[in-house]
DNA sequence: ATCAACCGCTTTCATTTTGCAACTGGTTAA
DNA sequence: TTAACCAGTTGCAAAATGAAAGCGGTTGAT
């Protein structure tokens, strides 16, 4: 179950779980892209993960307690992957990663817009988003008084994408 | 210079730079442990990095713009590694990583105390700490009105360590 | 002047991880 | 009946990692 740890440092332990090139990509796609099936994660991500790597990461993330796997009642072969509370609480970390990447790396506009909104919204927005993720993934009852952060992020992304495509078509 | 990127997503680009098991350990040790020489990074870290990996990571981090290397005027063979602004602005990300690790992973008390202070202090403390790092690493003039966050973090760590050693000696 | 400790790495080699491509046995909808 | 789809698995080459020893030069103490 527990392989020996390199040290008890919180940053090190976090790196032991998430410190590779794919684990956070998978979590990002489930969290922000609502990809819940193997094929969706395989085909709809921009980074083109290999199927054996995806299979390995999903298994690892389930073992580490960040995801859980259920059978899809609508299809005997489909599996549904969901975020656990442990993964939902990565929202601040992913928001900071997005903010840093946006500031220092050559991001594309349509993929940076969600990071920008998350950064501008700050911790109150993150908390709203985490609560929505709990509704989506942990079967928590929704709070109808709150507008959906997920929809706001997705709409902003679609808007930039449509504008760039319109500009490219000219 | 620039290898092809997997995508323009800010999270992905950040992972392309920092998504491995050692890069952030090196930055952590320079940032929080003030390790500035190769041998210090090699021998004084809890995780026992191999010398070839350390050499490779230092080279990579210099190339990516997170560190810079200078000759130490006091010793012809010594090199001094310093953080750039790009690395200093990782403080919020490292603080979030520490907070998440502390919440969900089996951290040790003496290594978690700094993460706890950083978390409790929040963004105002992070800003103070970043300003101190600019003084240490970028030769910016210090602000004498501010008490040192670095010293506060280090003192808290030493205190827990001493208490644990006293308890172990009984 | 001598010598041991220290300096930033490099080299070698075994093991592990990654990445690509093809493939599997079964399910579903037309 | 059949074509598309389902979650993966397999085989193999290439790259990354990790442990250990070693390198030529510098330094400070004797």
Provide the residue ranges of all domains of chain A, joining segments of one domain with +: 1-84, 89-170
**Dist CA B112 CA B99 (whole Å):** 9
Q: Which residue is nearest to nucleotide C20 (CA to C1')?
A: A50
Above 50 in pLDDT, residue A13?
yes
Q: A65, exposed or middle or buried, with CB in 10 Å at 0-12, 13-18, 19+?
A: middle
Kindly list the distances between the CA atom of residue B57 and the CA atoms of A22, B20, B24, B41, B120, in Å, as whole numbers in the listed order. Answer: 19, 10, 10, 11, 31
Please identify residues in chain A, positions 55-74, with a C-beta within 7 angstroms of any atom of strand D.
Answer: 55, 58, 69
User: Which of A97, A102, A103, A111 should one mutate to test binding to chain B, selecting the residue with the greatest count of B CBs within 10 A?
Assistant: A97
- Residue that has been written with the tokens 């969290």 in this structure: A31
pLDDT > 80? residue A88:
yes
CATH code linked to domain B1-84: 1.10.10.10
What pLDDT is recorded for position B87? Answer: 98
**Residue B151 or residue B80, greater confidence:** B80
Residue A97 has pLDDT above 70, yes or no: yes
Q: So what's the pLDDT on residue A4?
A: 84
Give the whole-angstrom CA distance, residue B87 versus residue B57. Answer: 14
Q: Rounded to a whole number, what is the distance in Å from the CA of A74 to chain B's nearest CA? A: 32
Strand D–CB B38 distance below 7 A:
no
Distance from the Cα of A82 to chain B's closest Cα (Å) equals 18
| CB within 7 A of nucleic chain C | A 20-22, 48, 50-53, 56, 74-77; B 37-40, 42, 51-52, 55, 58-59, 69, 75, 77-79
- Give Cα A34 to chain centroid, integer Å: 8
Place of tokens 């050693």: B165
Structure tokens at B39: 């041998």
Q: Is the pLDDT of residue B3 over 80?
A: no
Contact A130, A89 (CB under 8 A): yes
User: Mind listing the pLDDT tens digit for each residue in A46-77?
Assistant: 999 999 999 999 999 999 999 999 999 999 99
Mean pLDDT (whole number) for A32-39: 97
Contact A106 B13 (CB under 8 A): yes
Q: How much is the pLDDT for A147?
A: 77
Give nearest nucleotide to A59 (CA–C1'). D8
- CB-CB under 8 Å, B10 with A107: yes
List pLDDT tens digits, range A18-30: 999 999 999 999 9
For residue B71, say whether its CB is under 7 Å from any atom of strand D: no
Percent of chain A scoring above 70 in pLDDT: 98
Q: Which nucleotide is nearest to B78 (CA to C1')?
A: C7
Query: Does the nearest atom of strand D lie within 7 Å of A5's Cβ?
Result: no
User: What does the pLDDT read at residue A141?
Assistant: 87
The B residues from 109 to 148 touching A (CB cutoff 8 Å) are: 111-112, 115
pLDDT of residue A101: 98
């Amino acid at each position: 179950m527990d392989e020996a740890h390199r040290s008890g440092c919180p940053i090190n332990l976090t790196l032991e779980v998430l410190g590779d090139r794919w684990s956070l990509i998978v979590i990002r796609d489930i969290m922000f892209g609502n990809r819940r099936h193997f094929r969706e994660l395989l085909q709809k991500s921009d980074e083109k993960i290999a199927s054996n790597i995806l299979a390995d990461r999903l298994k690892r993330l389930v073992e580490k307690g960040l995801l859980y796997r259920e059978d899809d009642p609508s299809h005997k072969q489909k599996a549904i992957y969901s975020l656990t509370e442990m993964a939902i609480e990565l929202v601040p970390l992913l928001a900071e990663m997005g903010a840093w990447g946006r500031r220092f790396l050559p991001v594309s506009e349509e993929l940076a817009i969600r990071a920008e909104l998350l950064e501008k919204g700050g911790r109150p927005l993150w908390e709203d988003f985490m609560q929505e993720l709990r509704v989506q993934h942990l079967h928590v009852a929704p709070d109808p008084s709150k507008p959906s952060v997920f929809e706001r992020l997705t709409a902003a992304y679609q808007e930039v994408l449509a504008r760039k495509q319109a500009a490219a078509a000219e």
